[in-house]
A and B are shown apart, each in its own frame.
Chain A
Amino acid sequence: IAGITQAPTSQILAAGRRMTLRCTQDMRHNAMYWYRQDLGLGLRLIHYSNTAGTTGKGEVPDGYSVSRANTDDFPLTLASAVPSQTSVYFCASSEGDNSPLHFGNGTRLTVT
């Protein structure tokens, strides 16, 4: 089934630890995004990639890094997790500027 796969589904992480959230899509979409969703706030863009080999910073990039080695994969890394990074993280992809986003099922991350 075509779509976006995120892993893990949920994770409890000690502060200071390094963590990579995985995201893979099989729709051959050029654009991919990482969002965090916190209660009472809209989805906030962390990083994005318009095409393989390029990445850009979103609204809240500090403490996060991404890479886009190929079209399908877009991992998000927390180099040294802090409690304020406790959130639900969604990966998404789209065909182009006026196309809707397709979302993965999310990763619920708790940093203690």
Chain B
Amino acid sequence: GQNIDQPTEMTATEGAIVQINCTYQTSGFNGLFWYQQHAGEAPTFLSYNVLDGLEEKGRFSSFLSRSKGYSYLLLKELQMKDSASYLCAVRDSNYQLIWGAGTKLIIKP
């Protein structure tokens, strides 16, 4: 079966750096997405990786290793507003999105 694994919850301190990991086992691979979802709100797009390596976008970076079935989202200079769930999703060979259950990130002052 297809599977996306992410930690359920993480805690970090304001101003620090946190890395949220995502491992996947899917039928084929056509890209990996990271989304942010604040409580009670809709998911919003953060990043997209289709080739191996690091994609940087401001305070957020996303890394992909297709051979390892692994990605991470790196958040720098954490702010209180970064408290949210972070969802990893992979497009399989049929271009269907497979979603992880999300990682709830708690930022403490």
Contacts and interface: CB of A to CB of B under 8 A. Distances in A.
Interface stretch (A22-30, A38-46, A68-76): A38-46
A100 interface: yes
6 contacts: A41-B101, A42-B89, A43-B87, A98-B31, A100-B48, A105-B42
Interface of A: 40-45, 58, 90, 97-98, 100-106
A42 B99 contact: yes
A90 B43 contact: yes
Contacts of A41: 101
The listed residue with most B CB atoms (<10 A of its CB), out of A42, A44, A97, A103, is A42
Interface of B: 4, 30-31, 33, 41-45, 48, 50, 87, 89, 91, 95-102
A36 to B, nearest CB: 11
A45 B33 contact: no
A39 B100 CA distance: 12
A62 to B, nearest CB: 17
A34 to B, nearest CB: 13
Contact of A45 (B45, B48, B50, B96): B96
A44 B4 CA distance: 13
The listed residue with most B CB atoms (<10 A of its CB), out of A41, A103, A105, is A103
A101 B98 CA distance: 13
A59 B97 CA distance: 10
